[in-house]
Amino acid sequence: MQRWILWCSFTLAAPALAVEPFIAAAVPSGSIDVQLCPTEAVSAGVPHLVTFGLPLPRGSLAAAGLSSVRVLRQGSEIAAFVDQLTPWRHRSDPAIDGQSVRVARIQLEYSFAGTECELVQVSWGSTSRLLNRPSLTAPRTAWHRANTGSFANADGVDEPDVYAVLPKQWLAKGVLKGVQHLPFDDSVSATRDNPASTDAIEHWPDLQELDHAQKNNFYSLINEDDPAVSPANRCPYKTEFEPWLYDRAASMYVLYFRSGSFKALREALRASEFYANHINGSGYFSLRDGDSKYVYPENLAYTAWLSGDTTQLAHLPAMLSAHDGFSHVWQNNPDRFWTERHTAFKLLANTVAWELNGGSTQRDRVSSHIAELIRHQNGADGAIPQPNGFIDGGLYHLGSQHDYDWDETSYGASSWMSVLLIDAVLRAYASAEDAGTAQLIRRMGNFLRTATVDTTEHSYDSYNDALALPRYGMLSDGSDGQVNYEDVEHALDVAAGLAWAGYFADLSGQPDPQLRQRARDLYFSYDTGVNFWIRPGGPSAGLTAYRVSPWRKWAWEHRVSIGLGWALQENSDTVFGNGFESDGP
């Protein structure tokens, strides 16, 4: 039996392959260490009900093999109830569809010696379980009302009495998010860094700048940057909708997936609970009623898969109906609204619903949506003109259809909104692995590469040289649709889109090194900007030290960029070739 918890940055050390498989390899037998972390609702020495999900790579374990899932404490088995929460689904291959467990639910009772996290081992695929709990107890019977830190009793947010924290190396297999990723470097702690120390380091090696910034800015979002930050400068996540755009809760789960941090997991679940409590009967987020770009089943799925509680999923039908109010089918009608962002969140919602519940109707909705995107990219049956210099890959539409963000009669597309769509398409690809979807992503990379320009007209006045900047909007002939100096704030997310395009170019036998190189250029822009946003002296004036402005920026950067490092690797060896260079693009 292998102990997978011992893996560290395993993708970097793997044998060189032509193209690393998109789906992580099956693990038919193995064992991981899981931290059980008590909250203030737990008393030492008293048995407490614990429920959590165990994500398993596709093909690892059939449902019949759940009898081999065991929980051990210091080598002694603990009685457990185990069932399949969600199977691996596939839209086109019946040999895969429903044949293995994606998330197993585990429930047990555990007594803590004190108030600290304690380790148990979860194993599968070998010895059969000897001690069984007879049935599942409703997981929420072991939840309590949150009344510390980010939420007070009046906020109505419930959380588990005990959290189960999985190893970051195991989470990096991408079972939950749908894409593999690189975990945080082991040198990155879970606690907030001293801003004076991080500000003194201009560039960290590889992706460590991203690791530190993703974690440090998280503390600003939950208002734990510094006690001296004034109320006016704290994140208003309980009363305003803006901090929730791009799925605040799912973005916190992404931090957990990369870091394995108990703090990140707890805040993600709490945020998801708050969000779910504000989904109204029409499926909309009540702080932004009627706006489908705030409708996100993704975080609800993560809560169900990680806590074993499916209560929130009752909102799914209404949320899908909310997205149905937007037509993803593009038409050459100047008065018909269409953006990549709206179609991205609609596709993502329907794909997540398919993963959770299956069914031919939901499967066909996802498949038809992908087919429509391909039709659109191919010119919408000749409805989209191709002028001289036409740039292939964009989902072009009229400026009048995109809130007039470029000339109303011109055909253009948005770079960073296209990356939101790539994120949703990646999730759909995982459930079909078809050539058409792979080409859709590869070709969108061609658009993103052309939309990226090198310019000194960026917002980082502490850096005088040119930086790679993704233009907000680019017209179909490659000319400017909309461009401004603040577009550099989308460097990280657009870098992720380009990295994935580079991966699918390799996968389809059409390698294009410029795609990953442009991603690296954009990562340098992001890396440069991280220090621009750190102000060690901010708290003395009531300001955050780790600035996040606008608040939604943290989510637009990090939710879609989780797989950046993994997709940037070439031949499974390195992220930045011979090491990250700090010379800029």
Domains and CATH numbers, the chain: 21-166 (2.60.40), 195-568 (1.50.10.10)
Question: What is the distance between the alpha carbons of residues 223 and 198, in angstroms, rounded to a whole number?
Answer: 19
Tell me the pLDDT tens digit for each residue of 450-486: 999 999 999 999 999 999 999 999 999 999 999 999 9
* pLDDT at position 276: 98
- Helical spans, DSSP H, in 137-184: 168-171
- CB-count burial class (<10 Å; 0-12, 13-18, 19+) for 459: middle
* pLDDT at position 543: 98
Question: What is the distance between the alpha carbons of residues 285 and 272, in angstroms, rounded to a whole number?
Answer: 12
- Helical spans, DSSP H, in 358-490: 360-377, 415-429, 435-451
Collect the ranges in the chain with pLDDT lower than 50: 1-17, 572, 578-585
Structure tokens at 465: 């040289």
Secondary structure of 280-300 as H, E, C letters: CCCCCEHHHCCCHHHCCCHHH
Phi-psi region of 125 (alpha: psi -120 to 50; beta: other; left: phi over 0): left
Q: What is the DSSP string of 178-247?
A: SS--PPPPTT--SSPPPHHHHHT-S--STTHHHHHHHHHHHHHHTT-S-TTS-GGGS--TTT-SGGGTTT
* pLDDT at position 571: 55
* pLDDT at position 570: 72
Q: Residues for the chain: how many in total?
A: 585
Which residue in 207, 237, 93, 264 sits closest to 567, CA to CA?
207
* pLDDT at position 20: 95
What does DSSP say about strands 80-87 and 76-78: parallel, antiparallel, or unpaired? Answer: unpaired
Per DSSP, what are the bridge partners of residue 120?
34
Biggest distance spanned by C-alpha atoms of the chain:
75
Sign of the alpha-carbon dihedral angle for 15, 10, 98, 122: positive
Q: Give the DSSP letter of residue 338.
A: -
The answer to whether 354 touches 376, Cβ cutoff 8 Å, is: no
- Tell me if residue 570 falls in helix, strand or coil: strand
What Rg, from alpha-carbon coordinates, does the chain have? 23
The answer to whether 214 touches 548, Cβ cutoff 8 Å, is: no
Question: What is the distance between the alpha carbons of residues 224 and 544, in angstroms, rounded to a whole number?
Answer: 9
